[in-house]
Amino acid sequence: MMLLRRAGVLPAMDRVIDSPAAARTGDPTVTTTRRLRLVARPVQTPFYPQVSKAIYTRVNSAVGGSEPVGGALRAARSDITAALEGKAL
């Protein structure tokens, strides 16, 4: 419940999501969560952590303005290719 109140992290347990305390947070995601169809993360590669890191690192740099979008996308493509080849980032 503390993560929901302080950080907006949705609880994994239905009884917590459905609790009156969760409803009192006023977080609209709490009220819509029960209508969502959650699916497992589509992990198709044993290198998922490296691919994920390649994406979030480059996207964050583009969004933060430290790298131009085109350059970030090219670098992400290169990093993803390296990750899928089993080369650590």
- First CA to last CA across the chain, in angstroms? 35
> Tens digit of pLDDT for each residue in 4-20?
777 777 877 888 888 89
pTM score of the predicted model = 0.52
pLDDT value of position 61: 95
> Tens digit of pLDDT for each residue in 75-85?
999 999 999 99
CB 31 within 8 A of CB 23: yes
